[in-house]
Amino acid sequence: MSENKQKISKNRESKTSETGVSLKNLAAHLGLSITSLSLVLNDKPGANSIPQETKDRIFRAAEEFNYRPNYFARSLRAQKSFTLGVVVPELSDGYSGMVLNGVEAVLAKEGYFYLTTSHLHRDDLLKHNPQMLIERQVEGIIAVDTPIRFPTTLPVVTVSGHDKIKGITNVVLNHQHAAELGVGHLFTLGHRQIAFIKGQDFSSDTKIRWETISEAALKRGLKIEPKLVAQLEGDIPSPEIGYVAMKKILAARKPFTAVFAFNDVSAIGAIRALEEAGLRVPQDVSVLGFDDIYAAAFLNPALTTIRQPLFEMGKLAAQTVLNQLAKSNIEASKIPQTLTVEPELVIRNSTAHVKK
Amino acid sequence: MSENKQKISKNRESKTSETGVSLKNLAAHLGLSITSLSLVLNDKPGANSIPQETKDRIFRAAEEFNYRPNYFARSLRAQKSFTLGVVVPELSDGYSGMVLNGVEAVLAKEGYFYLTTSHLHRDDLLKHNPQMLIERQVEGIIAVDTPIRFPTTLPVVTVSGHDKIKGITNVVLNHQHAAELGVGHLFTLGHRQIAFIKGQDFSSDTKIRWETISEAALKRGLKIEPKLVAQLEGDIPSPEIGYVAMKKILAARKPFTAVFAFNDVSAIGAIRALEEAGLRVPQDVSVLGFDDIYAAAFLNPALTTIRQPLFEMGKLAAQTVLNQLAKSNIEASKIPQTLTVEPELVIRNSTAHVKK
DNA sequence: TCGTTTTAGTAAATCGTTTTAGTGACTTTT
DNA sequence: AAAAGTCACTAAAACGATTTACTAAAACGA
């Protein structure tokens, strides 16, 4: 017996030592079959007939030798990877990270992990990266602010995706509500000439954001002056591009009293451009952001913005994928097309009542 | 033949269809053995005796049915996961994301992926998360701003880790140089009473940063006034904690003309606190940050800061792990303890010459 | 023409699980 | 005392690749 044990522990050392004991080792040590151990350790019905005493021996030995089922063997057999894939534009944009926090919070509880890939808005990677994830046997995919350019039958959930694709659930902000909050806030403060900074074409929220804002403006009898609209260009997640957009608007020399930016990052750039032009925020021009990134509260002036619950969106996306995995094929047919979360208007100091 | 093909493609449909053809399927279709296909497709020496014609048949069939070796099967056999683990405090702190971008850039080229876990500075997760990664058979671990609290024989590389642990490589900033740049810059501008915001205890750079800054100050005959030193507290990556620290310093009512903050995020909070106290930056007080996050250039005033090349640090870390994996055990004994990257002083508008 | 080499492959073991289908040895029922 | 159950297990197949150790036939050399 103790001889056996010796053998095991020796064996263990001799291995890369990272890979612990195998079921085979353990079974030999106990003088039982692999089957019995597997049955008992996984608490399968087949273990019913095995007396508690034997079960305890097995549990004790597993504990003692710190047995961990080999991930590859288990996954190969079960055809399950306990892994999701997450596709993001890139990780340092202050957006994806928050979403991933939410994803991880949900997955960790279920013993799932996730692989991340960034497509950097490159068309080839947009196809290639998800393919690689699928070859890696991910069980489902979460696409964050990323268009779906790959075929698959796996569960797919997007965060801020707006393409209505059969079988794909989109976790989205209630954009109509967001636009109402934003335009409504500026309108209430008396602003009638509002400049807008649109998102880049590749950003999945650009279109819907613009449509809902247009509607909200129209509803209040505001007409949008094309010269007061600029679009973000370039794919770096830096305020620089907001600065450039704002410059463009200023160059048009059309009067305006407020700016509704596509996001907080571009709002920061816009503020810089305004101040360089000698305009004070919010005394001369109000600036409204979108997202509520961490820094928003500490800018100077502190940014008024529309908050997106990114952490919650990540959680919701992960939960939805796991739900689909748990469901039978029949039930899976009735997956929701859209899951909506609510925005929140956070009023700080970058917006003020229009000057008399 | 065409019958065979029919069978294969049917088989393919009938499966979850995500899992493509197996070698077995393919071999049956070609009337060859699994062995031959494996040998040829992996270009093993054993395939030397197989005529080009047969090889071509195999390649064509693999192409036609889009054969992809099963990841689990291959990994089980080879005891290789082609996956690294990355441990971070959390993903939305504007620091880890940049590092991960670098990591991914290197790994993608080699067909590697990575699993991420966040420990949120929690002691239990600091041990548990890496354990889970190891059970998932990662081949190496990259720890970003994270202390090593787990045993392993896998290659481990830290980014901004300072514990000298045998076998672990630390990718670090040249802190001495960074301190020289920072303190030197303020000194040159005439500042003699400088306040400091130290990092949280859990942050791996806190200690070394403080030591090197102290030295650089001493060297210039500056003495550090304890009342002008505050430490960040709390683990949210928000400027709020810098704001609180600055308030504390202000409460001491000791005069000072400059602040050297632990990082840009806390510098943002500090600026807010200063302005609330009626002090103008940089006219009354200069503020120096650290990191050079994206927003730094667009704050108001634009932040003078010490830039850390986070992307490069991520690349270097990943490269180092891969190198170690490629090395034989003998060579592996001479892994470098430390890899150093250089900081850069980025002068913007938050620092100015001291008032006469 | 016999022995050796080369050519063209293949059978089977292996990685470490899970799961199906058993197998003896007892015990209970009738 | 034979049939039917229960109990306590186990053998072997399967997941899908890689790899080692072969075989049978053809070609070559002396």
- DSSP classification of residue B355: P
And the tokens for B97?
Answer: 């994301």
Strand D: which positions are within 7 A of a protein CB?
A: 6-12, 14-21
Task: Find which of B294, B310, B329, B346 to mutate to test the A interface (most A CBs within 10 Å of its CB).
Answer: B294
Per the CB < 8 A criterion, the answer to whether B242 and B267 are in contact is yes
Residue contact B76–A72, C-beta within 8 A:
yes
Residue contact B294–A117, C-beta within 8 A:
no
Report CA(A37)–C1'(C23) in Å, whole number: 18
Per-residue pLDDT at B29: 96
Strand C: which positions are within 7 A of a protein CB?
A: 6-12, 14-22
Per-residue pLDDT at B330: 64
Q: Which of B72, A315, B138, B94 is nearest to B129 (CA)?
A: B138
| Higher pLDDT, residue B1 or A335 | A335
Residue contact A91–B97, C-beta within 8 A:
yes
Per-residue pLDDT at B138: 98
Write the CA distances from B165 to A27, B89, B147, B324, B337, integer angstroms: 36, 20, 11, 16, 8
**pLDDT per residue as tens digits for the range B153-203:** 999 999 999 899 999 999 999 999 999 999 999 999 999 999 999 999 999
Top-confidence range, A2-16, A321-335, B15-29, B239-253:
B239-253
Return residues 315-344 of B near A (CB < 8 Å).
Answer: none
How far is the alpha carbon of A74 from chain B, nearest alpha carbon, in Å?
9
Mean pLDDT of the B315-335 span: 85
Per-residue pLDDT at B15: 35
Mean pLDDT of the A292-311 span: 90
- Facing residue for A91 by CB, picked from B73, B101, B115: B101
Quick one: angle between helices A23-30 and A34-41, nearest 10? 110
User: How many other C-beta atoms can be found within 10 angstroms of the C-beta atom of residue A253?
Assistant: 7
- DSSP classification of residue B121: T
Chain B residues in contact with A137 (beta carbon < 8 A)? 19, 70-72
Residue A28 Cβ < 7 Å to strand D: no
How far is the alpha carbon of A221 from chain B, nearest alpha carbon, in Å?
34
Which pLDDT band, with edges at 50, 70 and 90, does B296 fall under?
confident
Per-residue pLDDT at B58: 98
Which pLDDT band, with edges at 50, 70 and 90, does B131 fall under?
very high
E strand map for chain A: 83-88, 113-118, 141-144, 156-159, 168-173, 194-198, 229-231, 258-260, 286-291, 304-307, 338-341, 344-346
Residue B239, phi then psi, degrees to nearest 5: -65, -20
Report CA(A50)–C1'(C29) in Å, whole number: 24
Residue at token pair 């899951």: A339
Residue contact B300–A298, C-beta within 8 A:
no
Chain A residues in contact with B132 (beta carbon < 8 A)? 113
Provide the 3-class DSSP secondary structure of residue B177.
helix
Residue A77 Cβ < 7 Å to strand D: yes
Cα-Cα-Cα-Cα dihedral of B125, B130, B134, B135, to 10°? 10
Provide the 3-class DSSP secondary structure of residue B329.
helix
- Facing residue for B295 by CB, picked from A90, A268, A297: A268
Return residues 113-152 of A near B (CB < 8 Å).
Answer: 113-118, 132, 134-137, 152
Per-residue pLDDT at B9: 38
Closest nucleotide over all strands to B30 (CA to C1'): C9
- CB-defined contacts A:B, below 8 A: 161
Taking the model in full, what pTM does it have?
0.92
Return residues 251-280 of B near A (CB < 8 Å).
Answer: 265, 268-269, 271-272, 275
- Facing residue for B72 by CB, picked from A18, A72, A94: A72
Which pLDDT band, with edges at 50, 70 and 90, does A294 fall under?
confident
Q: Which of A139, A84, A93 is nearest to A116 (CA)?
A: A84
Chain B residues in contact with A17 (beta carbon < 8 A)? 153
Q: Taking 60 as the threshold, does the pLDDT of residue A344 lie above it?
A: yes
- Using only C-alpha atoms, what is the Rg of chain A? 27
Report CA(B111)–C1'(C15) in Å, whole number: 22
Residue at token pair 């470098």: B336
Q: Taking 70 as the threshold, does the pLDDT of residue B75 lie above it?
A: yes
Q: Taking 90 as the threshold, does the pLDDT of residue B331 lie above it?
A: no
Strand D contacts (CB < 7 A) among B residues 35-94? 35, 38-39, 41-42, 44, 46, 67-70, 72-74, 76-78
**pLDDT per residue as tens digits for the range A75-134:** 999 999 999 999 999 998 888 999 999 999 999 999 999 999 999 999 999 999 999 999
How far is the alpha carbon of A31 from chain B, nearest alpha carbon, in Å?
26
Per-residue pLDDT at A155: 96
Q: Taking 90 as the threshold, does the pLDDT of residue A186 lie above it?
A: yes
HSE-CB at A17 with a 13 A cutoff on CA atoms is: 8
Chain B residues in contact with A245 (beta carbon < 8 A)? none
pLDDT exceeding 90 applies to what percent of chain A?
85
Closest Cα in chain B to A84: B115
* A104 has a chain B CB within 8 A of its CB: yes
Return residues 186-215 of B near A (CB < 8 Å).
Answer: none
Per-residue pLDDT at A122: 96
Closest Cα in chain A to B155: A18
Residue contact B94–A93, C-beta within 8 A:
no
How far is the alpha carbon of A78 from chain B, nearest alpha carbon, in Å?
10
Per the CB < 8 A criterion, the answer to whether B95 and B59 are in contact is no
Residue contact B117–A108, C-beta within 8 A:
yes
Mean pLDDT of the A244-260 span: 98
Residue contact A238–B275, C-beta within 8 A:
no
**Which of A294-298, A338-342, B124-128 is least confident?**
A294-298
What does the alpha-carbon distance between residue A158 and residue A102 come to, in Å, rounded to a whole number?
14
Q: Taking 50 as the threshold, does the pLDDT of residue A13 lie above it?
A: no
**pLDDT per residue as tens digits for the range B96-108:** 999 999 999 999 9
Per-residue pLDDT at A338: 96
Write the CA distances from A194 to A6, A146, A205, A221, B55, integer angstroms: 79, 29, 20, 12, 67
Q: Is B242 exposed, middle or buried (0-12, 13-18, 19+ CB in 10 A)?
A: buried
Q: Which of A36, A6, A33, A25 is nearest to A66 (CA)?
A: A25
Residue B65, phi then psi, degrees to nearest 5: -95, 10
Task: Find which of A22, A72, A118 to mutate to test the B interface (most B CBs within 10 Å of its CB).
Answer: A72
What is the DSSP track for A102-121?
A: HHHHHHHHTT-EEEEEE-TT
Residue contact B297–A239, C-beta within 8 A:
yes
Per-residue pLDDT at B13: 34
And the tokens for A188?
Answer: 């209430």
Which pLDDT band, with edges at 50, 70 and 90, does B93 fall under?
confident
Closest Cα in chain B to A97: B92
Average pLDDT for chain A: 92
Residue contact B91–A90, C-beta within 8 A:
no
What does the alpha-carbon distance between residue B85 and residue A299 come to, in Å, rounded to a whole number?
35
Q: Which of B294, B311, B313 is nearest to B303 (CA)?
A: B294
Residue contact B295–A295, C-beta within 8 A:
yes
**pLDDT per residue as tens digits for the range A53-72:** 999 999 999 999 999 999 99
Per-residue pLDDT at A7: 38
User: How many other C-beta atoms can be found within 10 angstroms of the C-beta atom of residue B135?
Assistant: 16
Residue contact A300–B136, C-beta within 8 A:
no
Residue contact A136–B71, C-beta within 8 A:
yes
What does the alpha-carbon distance between residue B180 and residue A355 come to, in Å, rounded to a whole number?
48
Closest Cα in chain A to B154: A18
Which pLDDT band, with edges at 50, 70 and 90, does B332 fall under?
low
